A and B are shown apart, each in its own frame.
Chain A
Amino acid sequence: MSWIDICAIDDIPLRGARKLKTALGCVAVFRTGTAEVFAASDRCPHRGGPLSEGIVHGQSVTCPLHNWVFDLNTGQAQGENGSIATYPLRVDAGRVLIDGTGLSGRSAA
C-alpha cells in the first residue's frame, strides 16, 4: 500500500463528503463520524449521480438523484442489484490518508 495524505479530517464536513480526483475517476470521501471516514466511487451505478452530494447517515450514503442507498463498508446498494468500489482509507493524527495504489497519476510501470 502507498498511503497518500489527502486532507485534514476537518476539511470534510461531519455527515458530509468531499470529492477526490483520481486516475480511476472521482472518488468520494465521506465523514460519517467525528473520526470515521470512508472512500468509494463518486459515481452511482444507476444513473451516474454524484454520491459525494448525497445525504450521509449512519455508515451509508443516499444518492442525490434517485435515492439509492449504499453501505459504505461494502459498497453494496440496499435492495438493488449494484455496488460501488470502495477504497482503503485511514485517519492518522487528524489527517486522512488514502491507499494510492491504482489511484494516482501514473501507476508503477
Chain B
Amino acid sequence: MTQKLVIIGAGMASGRVIEHLVEEAPGAYDITLFNAEPRGNYNRIMLSPVLSGDKTYDEIVTHDAAWYAAQGITCRFGEHVVGIDRDRKIVEGEKGQVPYDKLIIATGSAPFIIPVQGKDLPGVITYRDLDDTNAMIDAARTGGKAVVIGGGLLGLEAAAGLAERGMEVTVLHLMGHLMERQLDEAAGYLLRRDLEKRGITIKTRASTAAILGESQVEGVLLEDNTGLEADLVVMAVGIRPETRLANDAGLEVARGIEVNAQMQTSDPDIYAVGECVEFDGHLFGLVAPLYDQARVLAHGLMDQPDAFVVKDIATKLKVTGCDLFSAGDFAEGATREDIIFRDPARGVYKRLVIEDDRLVGAVMYGDTADGTWFFGLIKEGTDIDGMRDTLIFGPAYQGGDAADPLSAVAALSRDAEICGCNGICKGTIVDAIAHGATELGAVRAQTKASASCGTCTGLVEQLLQVTLGDDFHAPAAQPVCGCCDLPHEDLRRLIKSQELKSQEAVWQELGWKTRNGCHICRPAVNFYLLADWPMEYRDDPQSRFVNERKHANIQKDGTFSVVPRMWGGITNPRELRAIADAAEKYNVPTVKVTGGQRIDLLGVTGEDLPAIWADLNKAGLVSGHAYSKGLRTVKTCVGTDHCRFGTQDSTGLGIKLEQILWGSWTPHKVKLAVSGCPRNCAEATCKDVGIICVDSGYQLGVAGAAGMDLKETQRLADVRTEQEAIDLTIAFIQLYRENARYLDRPYRWVEKVGLDWVKARVVDDPEERARLIAAFDLSQSIYRRDPWAEHAQQAERFQPLADLTLEAAE
C-alpha cells in the first residue's frame, strides 16, 4: 500500500533520503516535497566556487526538474509551510493542505544574526543559500568594500570569493585566531597569512558594536571605536538549527529537534534529518553525518533496522587553495602530548596529539597528504609507541632527517634585507657568492653586508652555506636555546626582515621545535616583537619573568619589594608621608634608601601588592620599574638650584629625561645620571647614559657599567643645548632597543657594534636620529603609563583562587 510521505525542506540530507527511497523501495511512498527556496536540491558545499566564479549554479544542481518528474515527486517549491497539524496529520502550506502518513522535517539551519543596530539595513546579508550567493555576486559587480563578520569556514569562503571578484575585503573575527573550532593557533596563523597574501585584511578579537548607514549600509563600528567603511556586510558568525515549525507543532526541541537513533522525533510518525536535529546532545553541520542520518531514516521508512551513531569526523577543507586538515580531538589536555613539525620554507605545520600511546587528534596546514592515514590511526586507536619518533613524517617516510636548520634563511625572498646597516638584500649576497665570494671576508668586501655592526654575520654565513652547500662550514653560532637553531642576532634580523609580528609567526616561520618556546627564548622573542612592532604587537605578561609580570621584585622568601618612582631623586613631605603610611599599614619589615635615589619597601606579600599600589597611587606615586628591563632611575645632583659649583640645571634635565623614558622596555635595565659639574656627584661616568654638565653645555657619555663589570662611559658627543642632550639620549636608547641582543646591557652591545657605529647613527646622521626619536615616541604612546594603576584594578588576580583549608568537612 502506498503511503503519503511529506518532506519539508529540499536540502542535501532530505535529498539523500529520497534517493535511498526511490532506489531501494520504488513506489512505497507517494512523496510531496516542500521547499521555501524556489528550487530543488543543490550541492550547498559548492556555493563557494559559485561565489568565486569557478562554477555556475547549473553545475551544482543535484536534482533537476526532470529528475523529480521521473521519480513522480510532487514539488511545491517556493512555498512556505505555515504549520503542522499532528492530530489530523496534515501539513499546511501557503497554497493548501497536504495529508501525511509520515512526515520528515528537514528545515536545515538559519544563520545567526548578531543583534546589533543596523543589522536589517539593505546591504547586510548572510551566506546560506543561492540567493545570498547571488546577492554577493551582484554587490561585487561594482567593486567597493566588503566587511565579513565571522572568521569561520563560511565567513572565510565568502571573503575569499568576494576578494576574487575584486572587492576590498576585511574579515572581523571575535576570537584570537581564525577557524578556532577546527584549527589551533599555529595553523590559524598560517591560514591568516595566506589570506592576507590575497589582499584580505583580517582583524581578530574584533567585536562588532554597530552596523552604520542611513538607507543602505555604509560601515561597521567596532567595540574599540574603530570604524570601517563598507558597501556590503556579510554576516557569517554561525548557524542555529531551524526549529520553528517543530516548536509550533509541540515536538520536543532542545537546541535542535530532538531525535532518537532512528531519526524519529517525539512523534513517531514525524522524522527529522540534517542540520535541524539534535541527537544525544550533538548538532551536525558537515555532510558525512547527514548522509548517515539520511540512510538510517530511509531504512526506518522501509522497516529495515538501522541506527545512527556519532562518529569522529575528519575535516579536510579547501578554503580556496589554503590546504588544511583537522581530525579527532586536538584540544590540549593534561594527559596529552604533542608532536610538532614545522617547515617554514614550505609553510607547513603539523601537530599530532597523543594520549596513552594513541593518536587522538591531528591538525595540519600546507601539506595534508597524510591526513587520511592519521585519521585511520585515530579511528582505529592504533598503538603508535613503536613509530612515535617518525610518526609525524607520515606512512611513507619512517625515519626522516631532522628539520633543516637552514630552511628559514633558504625561505627568504631575494629582496629580503639581510644587512640593515647597509641595506643589503639576500639576492645581492647570493649573487656575490655565486661570483666567487666564497667566504665571509669576501662577501663583506664585495657587498658591505655584515661589514658594519656585524649582527647579521650569522645570516650571511648561513647564506654561504645554503648557496655553497658542503663547501662551506660556518663556525657554529650558539642558538638562543634548545627550541630553535638561531642565535639571537639572526632571530632579531629575521623578525625584522620577514616582518614577523606575533609569537605564532616566529614559532612557525623560524621553525621552533616547541609549542610556545621556553623560559629562555620566549622573553627574548616577546621583547624583540614589541621593540620592532610597537603598534602591531603588545607586550605579553606571560612571556616575562615574575618581576616584570608582577611589577615588583620577588625576594628569596617569596615576598616582594615595592619601589615608587622619585623623578630625578626629588621627593616631598606628602610623598614621604604616603610611603611611611603604606609601610606601617602593610607591616613592611624593611625600608631602605636605594642607590638610585629612592625608597625601597621590602617584604610586601603578593596579595597586598594591588592595595599598597593603590595607596601609593593616591599620593601621586607611580611604579619605579625597579624590577624591569627598562628605564630604572635617573640619578641627579642638585645642580644650579642649590650648589655653588653647578653649571646647568642637572636636576631639571634628569627629571625631564626620566619623564620621557619611563615605562619603555629595553633589552636589559637602563640607568642614567646627570651631574651638574665635573665633580660628578651623581656618578654619571659609570651609567648606561651619563651626562656631565659643563659651562659650555653637556658631555654625553654612554656604555658605562658598575655591576659585574666596571666600565667608564665613553664620550658619545658634546652638545650645547639641553634639547640636544635629550635628543641624543633618546636616539641612543632607541638604537639600543632596536639592535641589542636581549639581556645585553648597553656596554656589552656597544662593545659588539663599536662606538663609531653608534655615533654614525645617533650623532652624525640627523635623519636617522629623527627617525629613532620618532620610533621611540610611537612606542611610548603605548608603554608610557603606570602599570601599578592598571594592575591595582585587577586586584583579584593577585589573590589565591580559593582557600580549601576553609572548606567545612562534610
By a beta-carbon cutoff of 8 Å, the part of chain A in contact with chain B is 4, 6-7, 11-16, 18-23, 26, 29, 32-38, 47-50, 53-60, 62, 64-65, 67, 69, 72-73, 89, 98, 100, 103-108
Is there contact, CB below 8 Å, between A54 and B558? no
Asked whether, in the complex, the Cβ of B514 is within 8 Å of the Cβ of A57, the reply is: yes
B720 at the A interface (CB under 8 A):
no
Q: How far is the CB of B232 from chain A (nearest CB, A)?
A: 33
> Does residue B707 face the partner (Cβ distance < 8 Å to A)?
no
B181 shortest CB reach to chain A, Å? 11
Q: When chains A and B are docked, how far (Å) is the Cα of A22 from the Cα of B606?
A: 17
Query: Do A35 and B332 form a contact, CB below 8 Å, given A22-B804, A104-B805?
Result: yes
Residue B70 CB within 8 A of the other chain: no
Contacts A4-B804, A14-B542, A18-B801 known; A47 to B331 CB distance under 8 Å? no
Find out whether the CB atom of A54 lies under 8 angstroms from the CB atom of B804: no
Residues of B within 8 A of A108 (CB): 809-810
**Chain A residue nearest to B334 in the complex (CB):** A38
Count of B interface residues, CB-CB < 8 Å: 41
Would you give the shortest CB distance from B521 to chain A, in whole angstroms?
Answer: 9
Q: Which of B54-62, B290-298, B543-551 interfaces with chain A?
A: B543-551
| Distance (whole angstroms) from the CB of A66 to the closest CB of chain B | 10
B335 proximal to A (CB < 8 A): yes
Q: Which of A29, A59, A69 contacts B801 (CB 8 A)?
A: A29
Task: Give the distance in Å from the alpha carbon of A38 to the alpha carbon of B806 in the complex.
Answer: 22
- Contact between chains at A35 and B331 (CB < 8 Å): yes
Q: In the assembly, what is the distance between CA of A108 and CA of B810, in Å?
A: 8
Check A58 against B334 for contact (C-beta < 8 Å).
no
Taking a contact as CB atoms closer than 8 A, the residue among A14, A20, A48, A55 that contacts B802 in the complex is: A20
> Cβ of B806: which chain A residues have Cβ within 8 Å of it?
105
What residues of B have a CB within 8 angstroms of the CB of A73 in the complex? 334-335, 337
Q: Give CA–CA (A19, B800) in the complex, Å.
A: 5
Is B554 part of the binding interface, using a Cβ–Cβ cutoff of 8 Å?
yes
CB distance from B394 to the nearest CB of A (A): 23
With A11-B801, A103-B804, A105-B809 as contacts: A53 and B546 at CB distance below 8 Å: yes
A56 nearest CB neighbor, chain B only: B542
User: How many angstroms between the C-alpha atoms of A89 and B333 in the bound complex?
Assistant: 11
- Within the complex, the shortest CB–CB distance from B280 to chain A, in Å, comes to 17
* Assembly CA distance A20 to B556 (angstroms): 20
Bound Cα distance from A23 to B331, whole angstroms: 32
Cβ of B331: which chain A residues have Cβ within 8 Å of it? 33-36
Residue from the set A47, A59, A103 with the largest chain B CB neighbour count within 10 Å: A59
Q: Chain B residues near A33 (CB, 8 Å)? A: 331-332
Contact A7 B802 (CB under 8 A): yes
Q: Is the interface of B mostly helix, strand, loop or mixed?
A: loop
Q: Can you list 27 A-B pairs with a CB-CB distance of less than 8 A?
A: A4-B804, A7-B801, A13-B542, A13-B797, A15-B542, A19-B801, A20-B803, A20-B804, A22-B804, A23-B804, A29-B801, A32-B332, A36-B331, A36-B332, A36-B334, A36-B336, A53-B546, A54-B546, A55-B544, A69-B518, A73-B334, A89-B334, A98-B804, A104-B804, A106-B809, A107-B809, A108-B810
CA distance A49 to B805 in the complex (A): 22
Within 8 Å by CB of B519, from A18, A36, A57, A103, lies: A57
Q: In the complex, which residue of chain B has the Cβ closest to the Cβ of A62?
A: B519
* Interface positions of B (Cβ within 8 A of A): 331-338, 514-519, 522-523, 541-546, 549-550, 554, 556-558, 606, 797, 800-810
Smallest distance from the beta carbon of A65 to chain B beta carbons, Å? 7
Q: Which of A58, A98, A105, A107 sits near B808, CB closer than 8 Å?
A: A105
* Residue among B332, B516, B541, B550 making CB contact with A57, cutoff 8 Å: B516
CB distance from A59 to the nearest CB of B (A): 7
Whether A58 lies near B541 (C-beta < 8 A) is no
Asked if A58 contacts B518 (CB within 8 A), the reply is yes
Pair B801/A6 contact, Cβ less than 8 Å: yes
Expressed in whole angstroms, the minimum distance between the Cβ of B348 and any Cβ of chain A is 20
> B residues within 8 A CB of A50?
546, 554, 558, 606
Known: A6-B804, A69-B518. 5 other contacts (CB 8 A): A4-B807, A32-B332, A49-B558, A50-B558, A107-B809
Could you tell me the distance in whole angstroms from the C-beta of B179 to the nearest C-beta in chain A? 14
Neighbour of A20 across the interface among B517, B558, B801, CB < 8 A:
B801
* A39 nearest CB neighbor, chain B only: B334
Partner of B516 from the list A13, A58, A105 (CB cut-off 8 Å) is A58
Q: Are B515 and A13 within 8 A (Cβ)?
A: no
> Which residues from A are CB-within-8-Å of B544?
55
**Residue of A36, A69, A72, A89 most packed against chain B (CB within 10 A):** A36
Query: CA A55 – CA B807 in complex, angstroms?
Result: 30
Is B514 within 8 A of A58, CB to CB?
Answer: yes
Residues of A within 8 A of B797 (CB): 13, 18
Taking CB atoms, residues of chain A closer than 8 Å to B810 are 108
Minimum CB–CB distance for A32 against chain B, Å: 7
Within 8 Å CB of B554, what residues of A?
A: 50, 53, 64-65
Q: Report how far A84 CA is from B522 CA in the complex, Å.
A: 24
A54 to B332, CA, bound (A): 20
Q: A35-B332, A35-B333 are in contact. Are A55 and B805 (CB under 8 A)?
A: no
Contact assessment for A59 and B550 in the assembled complex, using a CB-CB cutoff below 8 Å: no
Rounded to whole Å, the gap between the CB of B595 and the closest CB of chain A is: 23
Which one of A53, A56, A67 has the greatest number of beta carbons of chain B within 10 Å? A53
- Asked if B805 contacts A57 (CB within 8 A), the reply is no
Q: What is the bound-complex CA distance between A89 and B336, given in angstroms?
A: 14
Interchain CA distance A109-B663 in the complex, whole Å: 54
A53 smallest CB distance to B (angstroms): 4
Across the interface, do A105 and B804 meet the contact criterion of CB distance under 8 Å? Answer: yes
Partner of A37, one of B334, B557, B606, B809: B334
B802 touches A105 (CB 8 A): no
Residues of A within 8 A of B519 (CB): 54-55, 57, 62, 67, 69
How many angstroms between the C-alpha atoms of A108 and B516 in the bound complex? 42
Whether the Cβ atoms of B804 and A100 lie closer than 8 Å is yes
In the complex, the answer to whether A34 meets B332 with C-beta atoms within 8 Å is yes
A47:B556 contact, CB within 8 angstroms: yes
| Known contacts A49-B558, A57-B517: A13-B541 contact under CB 8 Å | yes
| A-chain residues with CB within 8 Å of residue B543 when the two chains form the complex | 15, 55
Q: Which residues of A contact B808 (CB under 8 A)?
A: 105
B338 partner residues in chain A, CB cutoff 8 A: 58
How many Å lie between the Cα of A11 and that of B794 in the bound state? 11
CA gap between A54 and B334 in the complex, in Å: 18
Q: Which residues of B contact A59 (CB under 8 A)?
A: 334, 337
Q: Is the CB of B523 within 8 A of A55?
A: yes
